[in-house]
Amino acid sequence: MDRIPILKLRNLLLVTIQVDMHDRLALQLQEELTTRISETGARGVLIDISALDIVDSFIGRMIANIASMSRVLDAETVLVGMRPAVAITLVELGLTLPGVRTALNVDRGMAMLEAATETAMDASEPDDSSSD
């Protein structure tokens, strides 16, 4: 059985989708990822789709679901590496992925998540500031 690996990198989870996913595999990823977020307390999820040569409405919905579920679990999701031909097709298909943050590549996505999680930490732990 195929499986999409989920790597933990500090307080982030990194998912690189490298197979042409059938629908059940996409649903399985959605479940496993939400489980891992709650287990690890990860603050961010980075989904790398640079290996995907298409994103149809089902995969798009799965990505949007992951972003919504992560948000409820207090983690930010950033989608990275979308190929230009995939982006053109997605928009024409009518799928604009509302609520999903995107970055051009893994580096930028990591920077975005680090910035977001640091701000969130600062805001949630005001007593921890070392201003003195």
CB neighbours of residue 115 within 10 Å = 12
The string of DSSP codes covering 45-110 is EEEE-TT-S---HHHHHHHHHHHHHHHHTT-EEEEE---HHHHHHHHHHT---TT-EEESSHHHHH
- Pattern of binders to another protein over 69-108, x per CB under 8 A? --------------xxxx-xx--xxxx-------------
Q: Residue 41 carries which DSSP code?
A: T
User: Given the complex with another protein, which of 42 and 59 has the nearer CB atom?
Assistant: 59
Minimum separation from the CB atom of position 12 to another protein (A): 28
- In contact, 13 and 47? CB cutoff 8 Å: no
Total residues contacting another protein by CB under 8 A comes to 23
**Which residues on adjacent β-strands are paired with residue 103?**
80
User: Given the complex with another protein, which of 52 and 73 has the nearer CB atom?
Assistant: 52
- If binding is defined by CB under 8 A, does position 56 make contact with another protein? yes
User: Given the complex with another protein, which of 53 and 128 has the nearer CB atom?
Assistant: 53
- In contact, 69 and 27? CB cutoff 8 Å: no
Binds another protein (CB under 8 A): choice among 3, 10, 23, 51: 23
Minimum separation from the CB atom of position 58 to another protein (A): 6
Interface positions with another protein (CB under 8 A): 20-24, 53-58, 60-61, 83-86, 88-89, 92-95
